[in-house]
């Protein structure tokens, strides 16, 4: 076993490459310290949700290996206890390796293995650090490789986020939009196509379109879950399962499913599960589509609320904060603007994920930490954006019914309702006359006496 010499500030650990000085109070060991020194660049750390998912994998693996009789129960129990502590966030400061590291995520895997082993040894012996009695590779990493554990943790973290955060947030936004669709259903407004006046509709109908967008967003995220929930665990180094017990993957994945209440399955083909990250790319693509939908909704709301006197002004947005450092009284549509920016970030992340997803060279994708960072950030941003839009904007929207009605009355497109009675050409002639004279369609049609007044009122509303 490697020797550990504690000093006031550092301890020395001996590994296969020599002696490494590790902070005396650190729970991580030599491999983490080497990685921390090699990859000290961006200042970005792997996502906490990803690290906790990895700890969950290690926890379930230890239990499985104990049941299979290949790991002493007392060692497994200590690993489980240390993993439970990691899951509370108690050791978040011990994960010190930069996000941009070896593409397999091996450094983060070893960071986790060493922290869990060190804390397990402390539980068993009272001594922090070292590799006895619990060894980070032989015991914590038993039946695993970074090449299957890291993608497994990525998929678990993403699926949990969809289940616990994104899906509820989209449901919440949908409910808020549906409520406004009903509340605004009686409010007639002018429709617009090509940024030009079109025919009348209701504000509720416009919001029903938003509701359907979110319905489809939910369907898209539900649709990716079966592929995302296929886990690479059990493939070890290249997908062949070398050094893993034949029952290890199935039993461990069953434990993960029971703990998370999400139905995870073992990969149908471990070579695909480690060489490709298509499920991550697919999930990101669905997220991008959801983000595009949020931009559409947020943009329409802020345009309909533009003004308050010199814009469209059919909606009154909540006044949340002063909008200008120079113009007193100005209030801006800050929530839609924030949502749009988050959506754009998701679209950028999707481009990165697309490029990273192509990096499945032979039996391993070598951009796993980057994929984890971008996908989990996108999931978080869409969930936050959906709740923000619902709570701070949609729920507080009001319709300016008087302004909506004024626009309808002024619209030249109102003449479209007369076409079945007077024909397209006659209607176009009347629309031009209204435009040239500045009169409304109702005024021009009434003056021309092309239809009885009662019929005009029936057609124009």
Q: Per-residue confidence at 8, pLDDT binned at 50, 70, 90?
A: low
Helices and strands per DSSP (H, E), number in the chain:
17, 11
Average pLDDT estimate for 340-361: 97
Q: Per-residue confidence at 353, pLDDT binned at 50, 70, 90?
A: very high
Distance CA 200, CA 461 (A): 10
Which pLDDT tens digit goes with each residue over 146-180? 999 999 999 999 999 999 999 999 999 999 999 99
Average pLDDT estimate for 76-105: 98
Query: Who's near 313: CB < 8 A, 6+ residues apart?
Result: 304, 305, 306, 307, 400, 403
Which pLDDT tens digit goes with each residue over 21-31? 999 999 999 99
Answer whether residue 46 shows pLDDT above 70.
yes
Answer whether residue 39 shows pLDDT above 70.
yes
Residues noted as catalytic: 194, 324
Distance CA 303, CA 390 (A): 17
266: alpha, beta or left? (left if phi > 0; alpha if psi -120 to 50): beta
Which pLDDT tens digit goes with each residue over 434-445? 999 999 999 999
Which pLDDT tens digit goes with each residue over 288-331? 999 999 999 999 999 999 999 999 999 999 999 999 999 999 99
Average pLDDT estimate for 408-432: 94
Distance CA 111, CA 94 (A): 8
Return the minimum-mean-pLDDT range out of 58-62, 72-76, 140-144, 329-333. 329-333
Cα angle value 97/98/102 (rounded, 5°): 85
Arithmetic mean of pLDDT over the chain: 95
Query: Who's near 15: CB < 8 A, 6+ residues apart?
Result: 2, 29, 30, 31
pLDDT of residue 4: 46
pLDDT of residue 128: 84
Answer whether residue 341 shows pLDDT above 50.
yes
Which pLDDT tens digit goes with each residue over 264-293? 999 999 999 999 999 999 999 999 999 999
pLDDT of residue 130: 76
pLDDT of residue 14: 85
Q: What does each C-alpha distance from 80 to 137, 157, 256 come to in angstroms?
A: 15, 19, 13
| Alpha helix ranges (H) inside 411-452 | 419-422, 424-437, 441-448
Average pLDDT estimate for 1-22: 74
**CA nearest neighbour of 153 among 369, 326, 9, 415:** 369
Percent with pLDDT over 90 in the chain: 94
Sign of CA dihedral 235, 277, 380, 48: positive
């Amino acid at each position: 076993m490697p020797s550990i010499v504690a000093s006031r500030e550092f301890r020395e650990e001996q590994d296969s490459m020599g002696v490494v000085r590790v902070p005396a109070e650190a729970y991580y060991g030599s491999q983490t310290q080497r990685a921390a020194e090699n990859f000290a660049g961006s200042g970005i750390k792997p996502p906490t949700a990803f690290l906790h998912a990895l700890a969950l994998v290690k926890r379930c693996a230890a239990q499985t290996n104990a049941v299979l009789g290949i790991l002493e129960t007392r060692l497994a129990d200590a690993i489980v206890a240390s993993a439970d502590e990691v899951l509370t966030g108690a050791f978040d400061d011990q994960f010190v390796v930069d996000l941009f590291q070896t593409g397999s995520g091996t450094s983060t895997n070893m960071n986790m293995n060493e922290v869990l082993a060190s804390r397990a040894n402390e539980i068993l012996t009272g001594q922090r650090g070292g590799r006895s009695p619990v060894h980070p590779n032989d015991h914590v990493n038993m039946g695993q490789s970074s090449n299957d554990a890291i993608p497994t943790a990525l998929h678990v973290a993403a699926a949990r986020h969809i289940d616990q955060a994104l899906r509820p947030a989209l449901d919440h936004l949908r409910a808020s939009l549906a409520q406004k669709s009903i509340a605004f259903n009686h409010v007639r407004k002018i429709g617009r196509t090509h940024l030009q006046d079109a025919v009348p509709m209701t504000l509720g109908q416009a919001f029903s379109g938003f509701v359907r967008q979110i319905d489809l967003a939910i369907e898209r995220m539900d649709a990716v879950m079966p592929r995302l929930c296929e886990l690479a665990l059990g493939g070890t180094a290249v997908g062949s399962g070398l050094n893993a017990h034949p029952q290890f993957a199935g039993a461990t994945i069953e434990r993960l499913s029971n703990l998370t209440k999400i139905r995870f399955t073992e990969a149908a083909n471990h070579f695909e599960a480690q060489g490709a990250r298509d499920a991550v790319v697919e999930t990101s693509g669905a997220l991008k589509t959801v983000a595009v939908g949020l931009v559409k909704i947020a943009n329409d709301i802020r345009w309909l609320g533009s003004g308050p006197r010199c814009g469209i002004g059919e909606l009154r947005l909540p006044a949340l904060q002063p909008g200008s450092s120079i113009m007193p009284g100005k209030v801006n549509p800050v929530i839609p603007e924030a949502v749009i920016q988050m959506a754009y970030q998701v679209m950028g992340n999707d481009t990165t994920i697309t490029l990273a997803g192509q990096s499945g060279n032979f039996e391993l994708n070598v951009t796993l930490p980057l994929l984890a960072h971008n996908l989990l950030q996108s999931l978080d941003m869409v969930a936050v954006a959906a709740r923000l839009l619902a709570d701070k904007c949609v729920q507080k929207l009001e319709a300016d019914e008087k302004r909506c009605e004024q626009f309808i009355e002024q619209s030249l497109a109102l003449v479209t309702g007369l076409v079945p009675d007077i024909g397209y050409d006659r209607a176009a002639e009347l629309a031009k006359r209204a435009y040239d004279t500045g009169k409304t369609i109702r005024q021009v049609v009434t003056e021309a006496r092309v239809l009885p007044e009662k019929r005009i009122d029936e057609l124009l509303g």
